Amino acid sequence: MQLRNKHTQLIKTEAKRLGFLSCGISKAEFLEEEAPRLENWLNKNMHGEMSYMENHFDKRLDPTLLVPDSKSVISLLLNYFPSEGQKDPEAPKLSKYAYGTDYHFVIKDKLKQLLNFIQEEIGEVHGRAFVDSAPVLDKAWAAKSGMGWIGKHSNLLTQQVGSFYFIAELIVDLDLEYDSATTDHCGSCTACIDACPTEAIVDQYVVDGSKCISYFTIELKENLPESYKGKFDDWMFGCDICQDVCPWNRFSKPHNEPLFNPHPDLLSMTKNDWEEISQEVFSKVFKKSAVKRTKFSGLKRNIEFLKE
């Protein structure tokens, strides 16, 4: 018991040193409550064209199938809230998480450092790092390990810093001290539901992914549906509306990760600059950005769709 406690404290201290906002730990076991919820969501086709959500159903719910003999899921949060936003209020909008270097690279690197630290300090520990690129229910694990609660907009929320952060995990075959879940503090607030222009939050705590602006502007590869014309509120990549209106995000504090700082030209680009963006400018401004997922053609499509 004492050793388990010592190991847990070691890991949490190192996570903080690496720049993570917080670290919570839960027992690696089948997510019983999530199973019917995920099945129902998939059956209602709320994942739209994101067919990868249908794959590995069992692995999504059971980390021991991803990492044999795993005992603990170490969940970590990394802040990405920027100190400033886009200057031109008329310009097409970009989700804050995509301002800087693609978070997959930044977080993967930190997770590797944390895993190496665990192996050096504790001994032979096997594990895998996950940054939303594998069948892991990040938000469910983060909530289970006491780092926040799932809000009505289905994002993880904390009273201290709101929701502008990334979630990542290390799943390891090491016994640790487990944290317990926190309570829900959404109360009767429906700000996120009321503000969503495409009515994607179809019920409290249920988001129809196939109606979400982020889905349309990032995941959907075909033409954007004409029926949604005029409903994107000028978002060209991703959407932050449900987070921007959330009262808990008044506690968001700017990140201190240099890699998340935007390209110097990005925030000053005007509406006109965006509408006339060239492949060359796209490649320069988004050199290592998550925006590359949508490619130049995808971003152009989104910007065209926003025009009157």
Residues annotated as catalytic are 132
What is the C-alpha separation between 56 and 136, in angstroms, rounded? 10
Q: Contact at 8 Å (CB) between 109 and 13?
A: no
Query: For 245, phi and psi rounded to 5 degrees?
Result: -85, -10
Q: C-alpha distances in angstroms, 51 versus 48, 54, 177? A: 7, 6, 36
What is the C-alpha separation between 25 and 11, in angstroms, rounded? 10
For residue 174, give the nearest of 274, 70, 92, 91 by alpha carbon. 70
Q: At CA 82, angle to CA 77 and CA 88, rounded to 5?
A: 145
